[in-house]
Amino acid sequence: MSQIIDGKKMSKQIKDELAMKVKGCMIKPSLAVIQIGEDPSSNAYIRNKSKAANEIGMNFRLFQYAFDTSEREIINRIVELNNDEYIDGIIVQLPLPNNMSAKRIINSIDVSKDVDGLTNKSLARFYNNRKCFIPCTPLAIMELLKLNDIEISGKHAVVVGRSNLVGKPVAELLLKKDATVTICHSKTENLEFYTKQADILIVAVGEKEFITGDMVKEGAVVIDVGITRENDTLYGDVKFDEVSKKSSYITPVPGGVGPMTVAMLLKNVFECYNTKNTSK
């Protein structure tokens, strides 16, 4: 039976450390969140971020816009926040309405305040080994592996999913830690052939219980990034009951990668605040 990686417990440790640091700040670090529309999942994610920020004493400012707000109005707000010295980090809650360009909106965030690490400038810095903010979910995955003393160097890591948000950046982070990395996706033939080779299996496809027990080798470390809401119940990309009988470590959904992602976001905001104030 697997050892369950408790993301809630580990995120609390990080938030407690951040709370002590924030307590010593004359002016509290501030995170600005842009939300467009009323997506139920987005509402839940924003509540979690707001709650976590309040727990550590960080300011949280939410800017909500109707579904039919113009793209120009959103970008104008982001430019204002870029120039606001009391705002340390800015994120745009995804997904955005189909009538908007996520790329244009996100790229209007100043790279120095891009705490989600999703602008083109941040990603260019990331892939060229320059200092930048790393996307929060990949950062959370790596932190969970580190805190559980899971060896990465020399291991075969298989990433299922190739998004800019999770799949590609986590593959790059694993490579930087000397893993041998295979990326699989929707067009991969005979997916099971690859997943059964994984010492570390990271799944980020957003399909309920996509990975079953017969697709995982004995003793694998399994990190489940996906989340699907169905009849008020949350499911991961991994069929937990089956896979947990074979894996050595596994993250649950909920309570695994999600809480740690929020903790990494707050950590990035504090780093942004600290960099800004130590350079003055």
Q: Give CA–CA dist 53/74, Å, rounded.
A: 23
Which one is catalytic: 6, 35, 49, 155? 49
Q: Are 46 and 54 in contact (CB under 8 A)?
A: no
Annotation marks residue 114 as catalytic: no
Which residue is catalytic, options 6, 88, 114, 116?
A: 116
The structure tokens 């990190």 sit at: 223
The answer to whether 106 and 119 have CB atoms below 8 angstroms apart is yes
User: Which of 35, 93, 114, 267 is the catalytic position?
Assistant: 93
Query: 208 φ, ψ to 5°?
Result: -55, 125
Residue 116 among the catalytic residues: yes
Active-site residue flag, 93 = yes
Cα(27)–Cα(23) distance, integer angstroms? 10
What is the Cα–Cα distance from 196 to 40, expressed in whole angstroms? 35
DSSP string computed for 59-111: EEEEEEE-TT--HHHHHHHHHHHHT-TT--EEEEPSSPPTTS-HHHHHTTS-G
Active site residues: 49, 93, 116
